[in-house]
Amino acid sequence: MSLLSNIVGFSLFGLAARFGQLGIQKRNLFDNMGGHALSMAAFGYAGYWAYRWDQRAAVLLADKRAQLAARRQPQEGAEES
């Protein structure tokens, strides 16, 4: 999933959360656009953070798999002898 789609998806979820919040309070949905922008920015940043976390986790997992493969290599050679 690309960075842009992750940010846009989280931002739209933030807008939906804001609409849900105002709907529960029975307030006008289009009264304060600054609140919508703030909610979308906060959730968009959360999407950016989640994307970076996923990328970092993939790198850490690849490194750990390489370490495990390197440890198993000498053990497999010793077992065959």
pLDDT of residue 44: 96
77: its two tokens: 């050679």
Q: Which of 53, 51, 7 is nearest to 15 (CA)?
A: 7
State mean pLDDT over 46-73: 95
pTM for the whole thing? 0.76
8: its two tokens: 């846009």
pLDDT greater than 60 at residue 46:
yes
Q: How far is CA 32 from the centre of its chain?
A: 28
Phi and psi of 20, rounded to 5°? Answer: -65, -40
